[in-house]
């Protein structure tokens, strides 16, 4: 069996469960999913400050996963926090859920819209569109204006707001697909795709299949150039465990 480490960069155990279950639902028969989150950090990631904190936890988990011999890693937060730093540390492929969902969307539609949680995190998605070269593929970005952990409060309110936003986006944006902009929405994609008749794409499941593909093709993270392992230094204090 090959093991794919799926890292929820926030410390919410409920969301880690949601993410792990979605990943397991699509994993190949020979793939085992190891769903983890940092032991310390931020309970939800809703801005640049949260992303900076979460990135350290991602790197710690990458190190642990590598020591455990996982074949690849998924960063299951829509900001892809710490992605390039994680790629320096990792031997296997590292795929962020935003880039995975965006890539998949471009394969089934000429334009996609993004539906995420808080309006203030839209800028993070915009920056990723620029970084990954998908600006011209994105028709619109929307936020349901609820916090990330509203997805885990059991009320179903956030899920219904995502559904309504998707319906409106399909009607108004001229997009052919929707990208769900939060790891906590991973369990909504398949039912929304069926109900709306339009590809609604979740990055957790997309990233799991992309890591499986990369592994099957024998493609590890390139160590030629800027994603080579980090230059060895004496990391001190709280960073000692990253040595």
The binding site for ligand 5HY (CB under 6 A) comprises 10, 44-45, 77-79, 116-117, 121, 148, 181-183
Smaller CB separation from ligand 5HY, 59 or 215? 59
Q: What is the DSSP letter of 94?
A: E
What proportions of the chain, in percent to the nearest 5, are helix, strand and coil?
50, 15, 35
Packing angle, helices 97-108 and 122-132, rounded to 10 = 70
In sequence order, the 6+-apart residues with CB closer than 8 A to the CB of 53 are 41, 42
Smaller CB separation from ligand 5HY, 16 or 31? 16
Strand partners, 142: 115
- In the complex, what is the shortest distance from the CB of residue 227 to ligand 5HY, in angstroms, rounded to a whole number? 23
Smaller CB separation from ligand 5HY, 113 or 215? 113
Across the beta sheet with 31-36, the strand order is 31-36, 2-7, 72-75, 94-96
- In the complex, what is the shortest distance from the CB of residue 150 to ligand 5HY, in angstroms, rounded to a whole number? 10
- In the complex, what is the shortest distance from the CB of residue 217 to ligand 5HY, in angstroms, rounded to a whole number? 27
- In the complex, what is the shortest distance from the CB of residue 78 to ligand 5HY, in angstroms, rounded to a whole number? 4
Burial level of 1, CB count in 10 A (0-12/13-18/19+)? exposed
Q: What is the DSSP letter of 238?
A: G
- In the complex, what is the shortest distance from the CB of residue 152 to ligand 5HY, in angstroms, rounded to a whole number? 10
Smaller CB separation from ligand 5HY, 26 or 207? 207
Smaller CB separation from ligand 5HY, 120 or 223? 120
């Amino acid at each position: 069996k090959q093991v794919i480490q799926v890292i929820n960069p926030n410390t919410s155990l409920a969301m880690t469960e949601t993410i792990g279950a979605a990943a397991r639902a699509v994993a190949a028969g020979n793939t085992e999913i190891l769903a983890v989150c940092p032991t310390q950090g931020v309970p939800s990631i809703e801005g640049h400050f949260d992303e900076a904190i979460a990135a350290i936890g991602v790197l710690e988990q990458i190190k642990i996963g590598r020591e455990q011999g996982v074949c690849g890693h998924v960063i299951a937060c829509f900001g892809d926090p710490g992605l390039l730093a994680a790629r320096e540390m990792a031997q296997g492929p590292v795929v962020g859920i935003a880039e995975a969902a965006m890539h998949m969307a471009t394969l089934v539609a000429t334009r996609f819209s993004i539906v995420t949680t808080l309006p203030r995190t839209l800028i993070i998605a915009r920056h990723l569109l620029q970084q990954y070269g998908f600006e011209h593929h994105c028709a619109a970005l929307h936020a349901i204006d609820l916090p990330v952990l509203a997805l885990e409060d059991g009320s179903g309110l956030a899920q219904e707001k995502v559904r309504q936003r998707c319906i409106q986006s399909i009607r108004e944006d001229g997009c052919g697909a929707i990208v769900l902009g939060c790891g906590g929405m991973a369990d909504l994609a398949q039912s929304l795709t069926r109900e709306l008749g339009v590809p609604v794409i979740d990055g957790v499941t997309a990233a799991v299949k992309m890591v499986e593909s990369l592994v099957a093709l024998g493609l590890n993270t390139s160590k030629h150039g800027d994603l080579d392992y980090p230059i060895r230094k004496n990391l001190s204090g709280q960073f000692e465990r990253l040595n």
